Every structure is written in structure tokens, then in C-alpha cells.
Amino acid sequence: MTRYGFVIDQRRCIGCHACTVACKSENQVPLGSFRTWVKYIEKGEFPNTRRYFAVERCQHCEKPPCVEICPTWALFKRRDGIVDFDSERCIGCKSCMQACPYDALYIDPASHTAAKCHYCAHRTDRGLLPACVIVCPTRAIIAGDLEDPRSEIAQTLARQPVQVRRPDQGTRPQVFYVGADETAMTPGLAAQPTTYMWAQLGPAGADLEPKGSVWSLAGVTRAPGGAARAVTVYDVPHQKPWGWRVAAYLWTKSVAAGTLLVGVPLAALGLATASLTLAAGLVAMLFTLLTVVLLVWDLKRPDRCWRVVLKPNPRSWLVRGAYILAAYGAVTALVTLTALLGWEPGLRLLVWPAALLAAATAGYSAFLFGQAEGRDFWQSPMLLWHLLAGAVEAGAAALLLVTATIAPGEGLQPLLGAVLLTAILATGALALGEVYSPHGNKDVATAAALLKRGPLARRFQTGFLLAGVGLPTFVLAITLPGGLPAGTAVSAALLALAGLWTYEDLWIRAGQSVPMS
């Protein structure tokens, strides 16, 4: 059995970037993208200073999370341990970039597909060494078969103490480091200057992952090996993969799922008229369509979106979510048609399928974000319940808008107001629990601190806690005993929906604001 890996001896590395240049030349890596790169860290106070290097790349994990989440098998692990990719299968969903804890993947601006170090597989298959190994002037990079006791890499591992990057992630990386400094190996320990001496921090206007220390927000201020100051003096930029479209997808999906999750049981109990049920079905259909549009729009290769359905990786929650959305779209159409025909027995038959699929539609993203293992903040055990509560909140708000504007006289405004109030309190409590509860993981604590007292704190406190939770709670609590006037119902519903959007957007941003390399 063959199992390829790397040993990188940081004691020998001189930071010449020959490995980076060779990799770019061999694999036609475009300007601004990197499959292997060298980070520089300087420690100490003048004149007692020292520079450390860290060669970073794909770790060819024994348990690669990027393969698990990839919806089209564009990423796969070969029998020899190399984690390879097929750009012809990639749809550019960027989920692999979220799953990788090492910042190893990027989107190729020419093909609009994911790419990374693939161990120069085209060379390895012909018995040649990877290009970076050939050009290294100090032989700091050793490649070979880890299972062959006669190989140089196996003998090096037997003789030398080694370390791996981010062992807490459980990926079992097959890139081993000799003599690496902890500040160079661990993301976020070194401070980040506003500019480098001979390089840009990144493209102007790009939304980049932070590359320096943000742990101080969470009260993590320790410096490995004492109090020596560490500063990043050279690194490469990594753009945040997901932006507003993913946050909007979570929001539209909450409205789509919540409308039937709240509306269909009311119709089955005889509390809602056919006109309200029809409106609920139409709203659910519209927002399900918007959800699909946002998902496809966010792909770098939307022309290949059919691969998710026809050539899927069934282990990926992107694929499972696509099937759930398709089934939910079908059941919303059936509910709408049944309400249009006024067929009450049919509506009663659809209650449980519609409710279960609505809950699945709202909640499957918790498992999708759970597969995004590179983002520890998204691994919260409360996420599923938060998504379900958010769907009930969005559904109650949407139906409250319908009853207050399009279908007045239904008499359901107090009941929907009570449901909305309960859901707002639930989502608010869950959000506070996620942000303010103690966090054992420093990365989770840092992301939460960004919402508590960092650059995202003002929007979190005013846009979500005050406008999205506090104000609608106050309005509903005051007016519900009097029957909830239409104008008040509209105000409360709009505030709740705006607050829900604000939190989804901040949650996506905070999760990507902790450095991974």
C-alpha cells in the first residue's frame, strides 16, 4: 500500500519562494492564487529578533473534509493518499473552501472552479517528484511514500520529532513539519500589520479573511514560548468564500419553510380559510424559488448545477439539501393547488408531509454547515434549533403580513402574533446563547467576540438585539391583549424579518472572520 505525504523541515527553509514559483509554473496557477506559499513571522524586540518561515499547502488529509462536502465528487482521495480534484466536475460552490481548515483551496479565476495542491499527480504517476521538491535549494521539502520504511520521508519521520497543523480538527494531515515555530504554525497568534514592506495585503476592495491576531478580542493573549512579540511580515491573501447571497439564501429559506410550517397546521385545524392557505402556498413557492435562484447564482459555474442532481455525492449535505428543496417545492405546489380547488380532505392529507418537509428545509443547513469543518463557529449544537425557530418566526411574520394587508378579516392576527412573539423570544435566546455562552474553543470564542465587542458588534446589538428582538417583542407584548391592530402587526412582522436577516448575515461574516492559515 502506498501513502504519499510531505515532510517540511522549517530549519532548512530560507524563505526563497522557489517552491511557490515552481508550483505556479508547473500547474499554471494564476496570478493572485497559490497552491503552496511561504509565510514569514518575525518574533522578539530589536535587537533580539528572529524570522521564522512556514510553508503552507494542502495537507492531503487522511480524513479530508473537502471530499465529504463536495457535492459532485470534484474532490476525491486516491488510493495512494493524494487528495486530487477534477475541474470538469466542479460547480464552484466553494463549500470545499469552508470545509478545509488550512486555506488550501482557491477558485481559479480562469476556469471558475476550485483548485489546490494535488501533489503534482501528473508527475507522481510517472515516477517523478513534485515540482516544489525538485527546486528547493536546501532540500527542506521531502516527498515520498510514508508506508515504505526505506524511503527518506519514512526515515525522517522515524528520527525527527514532527508536528502537524491544526491537529484538533481531526483530519489527520499527511504533511509533517520539523522545527516549525508555533506562531508560524498556528493561525492568529501573530499580529497583522496594515501593510507589508514588499507586498500588498490583498486586492483592493476584496473581502479577505483576517491573517493576523484577532484572538485578543476573546481574551486570548498568550504568546508561545514567553512574551515575545510576533508579527506577520509576509503572507498571501485568502478571500472569504461566502457573502451576502448565502446569508440571503438562509433568510429566504426560512420564509419559504416557515410559511407552510405555520400555515398548513392552521388550515388543517380549520382556523385558516382557503384564501389564506392559498396565499401561504404562493408565498412558500415564491421564496423556495428565490432560495434556489440564490443558490445557483452563488455558484462560480452555474451552468453545471445539474450535476448536483444527476451526478451527486450522496454524502454531501449540499446534495441532500437540493433533494429536500425539490421535494418541498413539489409539496408547496400541491398545497397551493389543493387550496385553489378548495379540497379540504386533500389538504388534511398534506399536513404531515408538508410540515415534515418544511422542517427539513429549514433545518438541513445545520448539517451542511456542520460539514464546513474549517469554520468552528458554525459547528454549534444549537444551530438546528435556531434554524427551526427562525423558520417559525419568518413564517409567522409572513402570514401576519398577509392577514394584515392582503387578506384582512381572517381573525388570525392575535394567534399569529402570539406565535411570532414566541419565536422571536426563542431565536433571541438561542442567539444570545451562541454568542455569550462560554466557549472552550478559541476560534469560536473569537468569532463570538466579534459580535460582542468587535467590528460586528454595533449591527448585532442594534440591528438584531434591539430592532429585531427588543422592539417587536415590546410592540407585540403591549398590543396583543387588545387584538393586535393591522398597522402594529405589519411593523412587528417587518422588524422581525429584518432582524432575522441581520443575524443571518452577521453569523456568516463572523464565522469567516477567524484566520485559518
Mean pLDDT of the chain: 91
Domain ranges within the chain, ordered by starting residue: 4-234, 244-511
| pLDDT of 227 above 50 | no
Percent of the chain with pLDDT over 90: 73
Strand-pairing partners, residue 77, are 83
Residues 6 or more apart from 188 whose CB is under 8 A from it? Answer: 210, 212, 213, 214, 215, 443, 446, 514, 515
Residue range 313-364, pLDDT digits in tens: 999 999 999 999 999 999 999 999 988 888 888 888 888 899 999 999 999 9
What is residue 504's predicted lDDT score, i.e. its pLDDT?
Answer: 97
Contact 229, 223 (CB under 8 A): yes
- Average pLDDT of span 186-196: 83
Beta strands 175-178 and 4-9 are parallel
Looking from the CA of 333 toward its CB, the CA atoms found within 13 Å total 7
- Average pLDDT of span 383-409: 89
Q: Is pLDDT larger for residue 405 or for residue 185? A: 185
Where on the phi/psi map is residue 409: left (φ > 0), alpha (ψ -120 to 50), or beta?
A: left
Number of CB atoms found within 10 A of residue 129's CB:
15
Residue range 449-481, pLDDT digits in tens: 999 988 999 999 999 999 999 999 999 999 888
Q: Single out the residue of 127, 128, 176 nearest to residue 156, CA to CA.
A: 176
Residue 56 parent element (H or E): strand 48-57
Residue range 409-442, pLDDT digits in tens: 557 888 999 999 999 999 999 999 999 999 888 8
Q: Identify the band that residue 215 occupies on the pLDDT scale cut at 50, 70 and 90.
A: low
Interatomic CA distance for residues 298 and 505, integer angstroms? 15
Instruction: Transcribe 134-180 into DSSP letters.
Output: HH-TT--EEEEETT-TTSHHHHHHHHS--B-S-GGG----SEEEES-
Q: Determine the CATH number of domain 4-234.
A: 3.30.70.20
What is residue 216's predicted lDDT score, i.e. its pLDDT?
Answer: 67
Question: CA end-to-end span of the chain, whole Å?
Answer: 31
**CATH 1.20.1630.10 corresponds to the domain 244-511:** yes
- Average pLDDT of span 132-140: 97
